Structures are given as structure tokens and as C-alpha cells.
Structure 1
Amino acid sequence: MNQLVRMSQIGEAETIKEPSADLRVPFAQSGAFVCKFIIGEPTERAVCCGAPVQDGKSWCAYHRRIVFEPTRPGRIR
């Protein structure tokens, strides 16, 4: 998998249902309002999630919870 996954986030992502594999589209053909999370390895034939997104985001709610690490109090940036 090419995206960063923190073990602490795996349980959180399970609270949101994973998008259907039927929504997957080739990355080169993905539109402006679909999840760009790449499934598998990023190659010239990459396939992305394809689930609908809101507010111009790049990833659906399921994949956004996997990709982003929540901020922790007292963390130095």
C-alpha cells in the first residue's frame, strides 16, 4: 500500500463503511468529485477509490480517516 496508515487509525476507519469496489475508476479518468485514494501500487494504470467526496476534498471520509493523523496536544510542529 502506498499511503501512510497508523495502527491507531485502523479502528477509527472501521466506524465508516468502506466504499464499494464497484466505484473504483482508473486514476487518469477520475473526475473532480471522486476519492483519489489509490488502491494498490501507484503505477501508470493506478486505480482510485472513486467514492463521492464533499467540499472539494481529495479523499472520501473513509480514506481521509486513514490518511490523516489526528493532531495530539503538545506536539511540536
Structure 2
Amino acid sequence: MLETEVPEPSPRNRTTLLKLRARQCRYVTSDSGSEAIFCGGQTKEGSSWCPWHRQLVYTKPSSSGAKPGRGFIVPKLA
């Protein structure tokens, strides 16, 4: 499990793009070539990802001098 105790979403919620509804996770769990499959777990207001996938996608800025940018680590340019 990841740093915090966030439960992994159930595979039963997985769905296709055309079947996604509001407040369903848009994290792509597989791409079989013809059709992407999305997590479909419940999201919090204003988020595209469920708590499980959100903590996978977003990282904390490191103290190594990398510049943080909108939740993602942006490497320094040489």
C-alpha cells in the first residue's frame, strides 16, 4: 500500500470512456489497443482521479532543487 491508508479502488468499477459518469476516476488502468479502460472509482469534488490514483499521479516536491509545478515535479533545465 502507499504512504497513507487509502484503499485501492475495486476493479468492478472499471469502465470505458463513453460509459464514464461524473465523479468517476479518469485514470487509465489498461489500454488494450482498441479501447482504454478507466478506473471508474469515486472521486472527490474537483478531482479527475480517485484518492488512490491521485496519490500515484501527484508527487511531493523534493529538496533536491527541482522546481514544483502544479503538483508534478518539473526537472531543472541544464
Relative to the length of structure 1, the TM-score reads 0.70
- Provide the aligned C-alpha RMSD in A: 2.1
Corresponding position: 1:40 with 2:19: no
Structure 2 unaligned segments of length 5 or more: list them: 68-78
Q: Give the C-alpha shift of residue 40 in structure 1.
A: 1.6
User: After TM superposition, which residue ranges in structure 1, 4 or more long, deviate above 4 angstroms?
Assistant: none
Does 2:75 align with 1:71? no
Aligned residues: percent identity?
25
Cα separation, 1, equivalents of 2:44 and 2:36: 22
**Separation in structure 1 between the aligned mates of residue 23 and residue 44 of structure 2, nearest angstrom:** 7
- Compare relative contact order (CA 8 Å, sep 6+) and give the higher one, 1 or 2: 1
Matched with 1:18 is 8
**Corresponding residue number in structure 2 for 1:52:** 42
Structure 1: which 5+ residue stretches go unaligned? 1-9
Structure 1 or 2: larger strand share?
Answer: 2
Q: Return the index of the structure with the highest Cα Rg.
A: 2
Structure (1 or 2) with the greater helix fraction: 1
1: CA distance between counterparts of 2:25 and 2:33? Answer: 17
Q: Structure 2: how far apart are the matches of 1:16 and 1:31?
A: 22
In structure 1, the partner of 2:51 is: 61
